Amino acid sequence: MISSSDDLTNRLKTFEREAFRLEILDHYEIPSSAENFRAFLAGDPKPEGYNAGWLDAVRKATHSGKRMYRVHILSRPLTPYLRYELGWGYLTNMEAGEEFFILDTTERENPLADAPDFWLFDEEAPAVMNYDDGGTFLGPTFVPTAQAGDFVALRDTALAHAVPFTEWWAKHGAE
């Protein structure tokens, strides 16, 4: 059952040790980011204060010793949205302490082809991220703690096949 996004926001504020995200989409339709995405596509500079709310949350978490990290499964060539997300989003979020990894499936099979997009909090609280076919967020589904081990295994597989974002970006960011 899809839950309230407020519940997800609360988990992002209250996790104790780590928050992991597996991203699987080539495009996320985020209404609050629409103007920034248009600016990116137009070749405009990144606006001052870009992503400030998220950066504050990440900075608060990482400065208190918590870890926030993601793996994005993707293939090249990048969609315009992925160029925006990685070029503006990831590079900016790293400044606040968020870590990123890329699992590039361009020249290999995806080891997580059936994995959902999800957050995993403290290795015990998974939240599957539900999207429609256009990438619009429908809400989270909180998975029982008893199934958290399945999501830990997905995380571990993703990390085992991914490379640090900065390494991947240095090689493929200009493509």
Every domain of the chain and the residues it spans: 5-172
Render pLDDT for 132-152 as a digit per residue (tens, 0 to 9).
Answer: 999 999 999 999 999 999 999
Give the bridge partners for 23, in sequence order: 72
Q: What is the pLDDT of residue 87?
A: 95
Q: What is the pLDDT of residue 2?
A: 66
In the CATH scheme, what is the code of domain 5-172?
3.30.870.10
Q: Reduced to 3 states, what is the DSSP secondary structure of residue 19?
A: strand
DSSP 79-105: PHHHHHIIIIIIHHHHTTT-EEEEEE-
Give the CA angle between residues 92, 44, 94 to the nearest 5°: 5
Q: What is the pLDDT of residue 95?
A: 95
Q: What is the mean pLDDT of the chain?
A: 95
Render pLDDT for 98-124 as a digit per residue (tens, 0 to 9).
Answer: 999 999 999 999 999 999 999 999 999
Q: What is the pLDDT of residue 6?
A: 82
